[in-house]
Each structure stands twice: as C-alpha cells, then as structure tokens.
Amino acid sequence: MPELSQARRRRIQRLHRPRTRKKEGLVLVEGVRAVREALDAGCDAVFAVLSRGAADTEPVVRAAEDLERRGVDAVYVDGAAFRDLAATDRPQGLLLVAREPAPPADALRGWRRILMLDAVQDPGNAGTLVRAAVAFGLDGVVALDGTVDVWSPKAVRAAAGLTFRLPVRAADWPAVAEELCRPRLVAEAGGRDIREVAPMERFTLVVGNEGAGARTEVRTAAEEVVKVPMAPGVESLNVALAGAVILHELTRDRPC
C-alpha cells in the first residue's frame, strides 16, 4: 500500500479548519464505525488513511478489506503520523476524506419532517441531533446561520457518519422561512409538554442555541413551543438530548 503524500497530508490538516474545509468541499470522517456508515450511505470517497499501529486489529483489518472491495484509494502511515492527522485523542486508526454532498436548492419543497438547528454551536450537539434526525426518519436538516459546521470532523464523528444519510441545507432564516413545513415547533423550556402533542406527518422542529435558545424571529413564526417534562429541581437537559426526545415523540407513529 502506498505512503501518504505530503500534498494529501496537508489537505487533511486543512480539513480541521472550518474555512478551508468549506472552501475545498471535503469532509473528514474519523473512526471505523463512522467510515463504514459513510461508505454504506454512498459517500463520494476520495481516499482513506490507516494507521500501521492499528493495522492488525480486527476492526481496522475488516475496514481495510472493505475499502479495497469498494475500490477506495487507501494508504498507511505510522502511528505517530496518524495521531497528528486525527481529531481525537485516542484515534481508532482509520480516517476517510470524502466530498461534501450538496442537496438540490429546491430540496426543502419535498421535505415533510424537518429538523432545524438555530445557532447550535457545539459540534457534538449538532452531530448528535443529526444522528437523531436520521434515526427517527426525518427528511432533512436545515442549519441556520450561526450554527456550527455540521460537516466538521467533530460533528461528523458525533453523528457516527450518519450525516451522509440525509440532506443538510445551510441557510439563513429569510431564505427558508416560507419553505418550511408547518406546524413549526420550537423546543424550549416553558412550552407545552411534548407528551400532549400527537405524532405528526409534517412538521419543522427548531432546536435553538445552547444558551440563548431560538432567535426571536424564529420563535415568533412558530405555531407552538414544546418542551420535555422533567422532575422537580431539574432545570434543563442538554440540547441534543432534549431534541432527540422531542423527535421521538413527534415520530412515534412511524413504521418500524
């Protein structure tokens, strides 16, 4: 297997920086499970890198065989070099560079169940919410301006590579306000108990910023505010956990 070239090494390092990642239109997928999910979802793989230090572990051996079977260009580097390329403290020995998929500009018109991230800033939260959207059968995700890059290495890793399984559209509020499915629900403390809301065939659920919640214009345009009920003395849930619980309630009638 060939060595990693300096050009590719520099390309991977650029993908850790949001501005250059977006400019190149590439996604860095890290970890055995996330890479497998991305490949199974039909991602446009550019090349993969494996660590020699993990080359004899069963998960990486199977991953290498899968890459070869799919015809993905793969190279090995030593353990120290791989750690320099990875975004995690304890990398699993596998990463993949793939092209970022671009949903059609009119994609929203066909979406019936939508998750909208309004300035969600933590990549772990954003990735977990995307993962929940896939798990509960949503049609797509809208990431409003101010939201962390959902294709960043940390967000993709938090989504376990599932981001490739549904379309994600980045937009500002005025561009999508009239296209979103109704009713539009905002997840926020003080809203209606989500257990009192019947499952819906069509909806847009807005999950807001970890500290400030949804922006004023989004909250004003919503038909309803909903919340996850909690035990006395508990003020709030992590935004990703709350969003996942609400999505489960809204889609609990979906076919299994």
* Confidence at residue 56, expressed as pLDDT on a 0 to 100 scale: 81
CB 29 within 8 A of CB 161: yes
Q: Which of 99, 121, 146 is the last residue of a domain?
A: 99
Same domain assignment for residues 114 and 55: no
Positions in the chain short of pLDDT 50: 256
Same domain assignment for residues 185 and 127: yes
Same domain assignment for residues 89 and 132: no
Same domain assignment for residues 118 and 237: yes
Task: Note the pLDDT tens digit of each residue in 64-113.
Answer: 999 999 999 999 999 899 999 998 778 899 999 999 998 777 778 889 99
Same domain assignment for residues 144 and 207: yes
Residue 3 phi/psi, 5-degree rounding, is: -80, 160
Determine, yes or no, domain membership for 1.
Answer: no
Same domain assignment for residues 147 and 165: yes
* Confidence at residue 90, expressed as pLDDT on a 0 to 100 scale: 82
* Confidence at residue 1, expressed as pLDDT on a 0 to 100 scale: 60
**Structural domain tally of the chain?**
2
What is the CB neighbour count within 10 angstroms for residue 71? 8
Q: Tell me, what CATH number does 19's domain have?
A: 3.30.1330.30
Amino acid at 36: R
Q: Which of 70, 99, 128 is the last residue of a domain?
A: 99
Task: Note the pLDDT tens digit of each residue in 164-184.
Answer: 999 999 999 999 999 999 999
Same domain assignment for residues 147 and 238: yes
* Confidence at residue 234, expressed as pLDDT on a 0 to 100 scale: 74
CB 138 within 8 A of CB 114: yes
| Pairing of β 94-99 and β 44-51 | antiparallel
Determine, yes or no, domain membership for 256.
Answer: no
Q: Which residues pair with 203 in a beta bridge?
A: 113
| pTM of the model as a whole | 0.92
**Residue numbers of the domain that contains 43:** 6-99
User: Of 2, 95, 5, 1, which is closest to residue 50 (Cα–Cα)?
Assistant: 95
Same domain assignment for residues 159 and 222: yes
User: Of 99, 112, 129, which is closest to residue 238 (Cα–Cα)?
Assistant: 129
Same domain assignment for residues 207 and 141: yes
What is the CB neighbour count within 10 angstroms for residue 197? 17
Q: Tell me, what CATH number does 200's domain have?
A: 3.40.1280.10
pLDDT over 70, % of the chain: 98
* Confidence at residue 130, expressed as pLDDT on a 0 to 100 scale: 98
Same domain assignment for residues 180 and 236: yes
* Confidence at residue 207, expressed as pLDDT on a 0 to 100 scale: 97
Q: What is the DSSP string of the chain?
A: -PBPPHHHHHHHHHTTSHHHHHHHTEEEEESHHHHHHHHHTT-EEEEEEEEGGGTTSHHHHHHHHHHHHHT--EEEE-HHHHHHH-SSSS--SEEEEEEPP---TTGGGG-SEEEEESS---HHHHHHHHHHHHHTT-SEEEEETTS--TTSHHHHHHTTTGGGGS-EEEE-HHHHTTTS-SSEEEEEEEEEEGGGSPP-SSEEEEE-BTTTBS-HHHHHH-SEEEE----TT-----HHHHHHHHHHHHTTTS--
* Confidence at residue 7, expressed as pLDDT on a 0 to 100 scale: 93
Same domain assignment for residues 113 and 226: yes
Determine, yes or no, domain membership for 255.
Answer: no
Determine, yes or no, domain membership for 154.
Answer: yes
Determine, yes or no, domain membership for 172.
Answer: yes
Q: Which of 99, 128, 151 is the last residue of a domain?
A: 99
Same domain assignment for residues 120 and 142: yes
